[in-house]
């Protein structure tokens, strides 16, 4: 085989191996990522405490001071 063909085969093999490793790494990271929460985020208007509550709740009581708060809209 010519030197040009050997270099081409070597570079192609290395690039293919790197692509397989990158694909494998991406698939593994997707598998272990946490699922997004559907909970609402609240910020207390009185004490500034940030907390979450169930998605079916529109108003929630602050666990620090007891004030009722509206959910934050993003």
> Are the C-beta atoms of residues 45 and 69 closer than 8 Å to each other?
yes
Q: How many CB atoms lie within 10 A of CB 39?
A: 14
pLDDT tens per residue across span 4-24: 999 999 999 999 999 999 999
Q: Is the pTM of this model over 0.75?
A: no
pLDDT tens per residue across span 27-70: 887 777 677 888 899 999 999 999 999 999 889 999 999 999 99
> Are the C-beta atoms of residues 10 and 25 closer than 8 Å to each other?
no
Strands 68-70, 59-61: pairing kind? antiparallel
Task: For residue 62, give both structure tokens.
Answer: 């602050």
């Amino acid at each position: 085989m010519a030197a040009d063909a050997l270099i081409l085969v070597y570079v192609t093999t290395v690039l293919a191996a790197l692509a397989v490793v990158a694909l494998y790494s991406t698939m593994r990271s997707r598998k272990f990522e946490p699922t997004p929460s559907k909970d609402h985020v609240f910020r207390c208007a009185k004490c500034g405490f940030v907390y979450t509550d169930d998605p079916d709740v529109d108003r929630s009581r602050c666990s620090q001071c007891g004030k009722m708060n509206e959910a934050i809209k993003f």
